[in-house]
Amino acid sequence: MITLYGTQRSRALRVSWLLEEMALDWQFQRVDMQQRSPEFLALNPCGKVPVLVDDELVLTESAAIMQYLAERYGEGQFLPQPGSHAAGLHHRWVSFIITELEQPLWSIGKHRFALPEELRLETMFGVAKWEFDKAAAIAETWLASSDFARTGFLFGDKLTVADILLAHTLMWATLFEQTIPPQLAAYRDKLQQRQALHSALEKTKA
């Protein structure tokens, strides 16, 4: 049995969305981030979510978890053919989303609610917006050269790990009241309609 530890309003949602897309048998273990249990900290001493437990494997980092699930259980779906040009571009998308597009959003989160109050800096919000706008402009350009206009997805006519990562990050950006370029906004709106996302939200709700 696969167990996912997390909260709905965290990166665990992107993993639960993929689990629902794959129609796997899994269970959700909600984590109290204010009072993390010793049992949870034994799984991830960093105290962060998500954490995936699959038999003897304990795995952290949402992008790593998603790529593992796609490789192990995806039956050739959710990732481009290994070694193909599309696979290289998929790697680029995943890296860019995590390190460039998402990073300023987490800066907002840290300085809005995650850091101790004495460490929060109001000036960080302007910096983060500038960083996000720059990354979003690049993503908008890449989206225009992807398969989105033809198929609704980044690669071919099927959903990939990068699609979920990008859509979830754009949802997070919307929650943080960032300006989303028009094509990225259309992409977000399309992906948000997927039934697997709604199933994941239902399964992980408080």
Q: Does residue 202 belong to any structural domain of this protein?
A: no
The series of mean pLDDT values per 10 residues for the chain, 206 residues long, is 95 98 97 92 95 98 98 97 97 98 97 96 97 98 97 97 98 97 98 98 89
State whether 47 and 70 are in the same domain: yes
3-state secondary structure of 6: strand
Question: pLDDT value at position 121?
Answer: 97
Domain annotation covers residue 66: yes
Domain boundary among 59, 77, 95: 77
Are 138 and 38 contained in the same domain? no
Q: What is the pLDDT of residue 64?
A: 98
Are residues 9 and 32 in contact, defined by beta-carbon separation less than 8 angstroms? no
Which backbone phi and psi does 202 adopt, to 5 degrees? Answer: -65, -40
> For the domain that residue 71 is a member of, what is the CATH number?
3.40.30.10
CATH number at residue 183: 1.20.1050.10
Confidence at residue 45, expressed as pLDDT on a 0 to 100 scale: 94
Phi, psi at 48, each rounded to 5°: -105, 160
Q: Burial code of 45-81, b = ≥16 C-beta within 10 A, e = fewer? A: eeebbbbbbbeeeebbbbbebbbbbbeebbeeebbbe
Put simply, whether the predicted model's pTM sits higher than 0.95 gets the answer: yes
Containing domain of residue 172, as a range? 85-195
The whole-number pLDDT of residue 163 equals 98
The total of structural domains in the chain comes to 2
Rounded to 5 degrees, what are φ and ψ at 23? 55, 40
- Sign of the alpha-carbon torsion through 177, 21, 64, 115: positive
Which helix (H) or strand (E) is 50 found in, with range?
Answer: none
Give burial (CB, 10 Å; 0-12/13-18/19+) of 122. exposed
Q: Provide the token pair at 95.
A: 């890296």
For 150-183, how does the pLDDT look when each residue is reduced to its tens digit (9 = 90+)? 999 999 999 999 999 999 999 999 999 999 999 9
The predicted structure's pLDDT at residue 206: 65
Contact 50, 65 (CB under 8 A): yes
* Residue after which a domain boundary falls, among 28, 56, 77: 77
Give the residue from 46, 77, 108 where a domain finishes.
77
